[in-house]
Amino acid sequence: MKLEISPATSIKGTLTVPGDKSISHRAAIFGALASGETRITNFLCADDTLCTLDILRQLGADVIRDGANVVVKGIEHFQTPDKPLYCGNSGTVMRLMAGVLAGQGIDCTLTGDESLSRRPMMRIVVPLSMMRARIIGDGEKATPPLRLQGCPIHGIGYPLPIPSAQVKSAILLAGLGASGQTTVIENVPSRDHTERMLEGFGCKPEIKVLSRGRKAITVTGGSKLRGTNVDVPGDISSAAFLFAAAALRPGWQVTVQNVGINPTRDGVLEVLEAMGAKVLLDNQRTSGGELVADVTITGAPLRGVEIGGTVIPRLIDELPVLAALATQAEGETVIRDAHELRVKESDRIEIISRELRKMGANIEEREDGMIVRGPVQLRGAAVASPPGDHRIAMTLAVAALVAEGDSIVENAQAIQSSFPEFMGTLNSIVQR
């Protein structure tokens, strides 16, 4: 699949984006673990999240989907699947399901597509093994497939070496099926959807603030979850591509309604404002334990900024499109402390630097980030996303909006994994 992008003369519009991917995954998984029935509205219907539903069905859960409405009926014990559990392109699915299954007492194998099969899983294999789970991957990095053998596990205390909501969630979910208590210690906050959702399902974790801003999250094995209703807010990581598009030029504007602004996910708004874009939050409210708002971004003259430190976990998925935006900012934009980008669906530091340079960008690749110097006039070009990396494909499409001449983005099929309606949504606000 390829995208053909012509430059925009203006961007203006009001719209919504699909449901949050992280919350959709968790709502379905928690629903299967809970007693009773869980009803999910605005569920993200994309390849990644549909893999989650398929896996839960293989494990014996009753899952009914009608468009973006999903009903999950919880089961007391998962059944042993008769074939490998396919996680598609989703690291979230593999890591969270590994945590869930570690304490279920069944044998199973988690597999993924070619991209996911290259991603290291040692970050979850180590703590889950410390809990006495029998889990192995391939080679020294424990790449998929992951093979689990059912056995009793016990709680541990585990300080996260790096901020990771996926690792934290895997350990906490394993802790629900373990004996005793399980505590995860964070030095830097990461996405807290799991903690919020545990409370919504009637199993509030114990959270303690430690010295120097560290946090300890504790769950008790055997805690019971109760089915509930979950209204999934719009995904801020999907909205970020529309925000960046509006910020490319002074006067361009987009409003995304009903988008999640969880404080562990809103770093993109902070950086957009620091770069000079106008950010307006309207109709702020809480829905299902998550902060939600209508977010308006208005373009203004941009300036280079430094992006690093504790803000990185709050916008790790948005860094590629912020790098594209930085090509239009006055001065240097420095992205640092983002080595995690090298072990996503692709080496995003290398790929986004290389592909934006094809369009004329001035980017210096660094081991843990990049330096972008601007502003530059991008030019239309034939660029390509690595197979399986949806965020690179969407980033290049946004950059092409201010290029001189038409652009072609190859290997864009991965967009189906998180934002299938992306091009239709983008075209609805672009004037040419």
Query: Mind giving me the DSSP string for 137-169?
Result: EETTTTEEEEEEE----B--EEE-SS--HHHHH
**Rounded Cα gap, residues 207 and 238, in angstroms:** 29
Cβ-based burial of 282 (10 A; exposed 0-12, middle 13-18, buried ≥19): exposed
For residues 321 and 218, membership in a common domain is answered with: no
Do 59 and 175 belong to one domain?
yes
Query: Which DSSP helix (H) or strand (E) runs through 207?
Result: strand 206-209
Q: What is the C-alpha separation between 390 and 48, in angstroms, rounded?
A: 11
Q: Is residue 401 within a helix (H) or strand (E), and if so which, with residue range?
A: none
CA distances from 102 to 7, 138, 178, 346 (A): 49, 17, 9, 27
Q: In what order do the strands lie in the sheet with 69-73?
A: 62-66, 69-73, 37-41, 229-231
Q: Which two tokens stand for residue 284?
A: 């702020």
Domain of 125, in residue numbers = 21-231
163/157 Cα distance (integer angstroms): 16
343, 420: one domain: yes
Verify that 217 and 99 share a domain, yes or no.
yes
Give me the phi and psi of 345, to 5 degrees please. -60, -25
**Token duo for residue 121:** 């899983």
Catalytically active residues, by annotation: 317
DSSP 139: T
pTM, to two decimals: 0.94
* Tokens read off for 60: 């014996």
Confidence at residue 181, expressed as pLDDT on a 0 to 100 scale: 98
Instruction: Convert 88-107 to b/e letters by CB count within 10 Å (16 or more is b).
Output: bbbbbbbbbbbbbbbbbebe
Q: How far apart are CA 152 and CA 130, in angstroms?
A: 12
Q: In which residue ranges of the chain is pLDDT below 50?
A: none
CB-CB contact of 405 with 7 (8 Å) = yes
Q: What confidence score (pLDDT) does residue 265 get?
A: 95
**CB 100, CB 75: distance < 8 Å:** no
The domain boundary residue, chosen from 231, 252, 281:
231
Q: Which two tokens stand for residue 7?
A: 């430059």
Q: Are residues 247 and 131 in the same domain?
A: no
Residue whose entry in the numeric block shows the structure tokens 């303690």: 208
Phi and psi at 343, nearest 5°, equal -120, 30
**So what's the pLDDT on residue 212?**
85
Q: Is there a single domain that holds both residue 45 and residue 124? A: yes
Q: Do residue 249 and residue 175 come from a single domain?
A: no
Q: Where a domain ends, among 231, 248, 274? A: 231
Predicted pLDDT of residue 412: 94
Question: For residue 352, what is the domain's CATH number?
Answer: 3.65.10.10
- Do 275 and 191 lie in one domain? The reply is no
Based on the domain organization, do 248 and 315 belong to the same domain? yes
Asked if residue 238 and residue 212 are part of one domain, the reply reads no
Count up the domains in the chain and report the number: 2
Residue 307 to residue 305: CA distance in whole angstroms: 6
Q: Are strands 229-231 and 37-41 parallel, antiparallel or unpaired?
A: parallel
Asked if residue 212 and residue 244 are part of one domain, the reply reads no
Token pair 């629903």 is found at 31
Q: For position 240, what pLDDT does the model report?
A: 98
Bridge partner list, 138: 143
Instruction: Report residue 290 as tokens.
Output: 């998550």
Q: Tokens 């001449």 appear where?
A: 405
Within 82-205, strands assigned E span 85-86, 108-111, 134-138, 143-149, 157-159, 181-186
Q: What is the dihedral of CA 413, 419, 422, 424, to 10 degrees?
A: 100
Chosen domain end from 231, 254, 276: 231
Give the three-class secondary structure for 305.
Answer: coil
* Whether residue 91 is found in the same domain as residue 213: yes
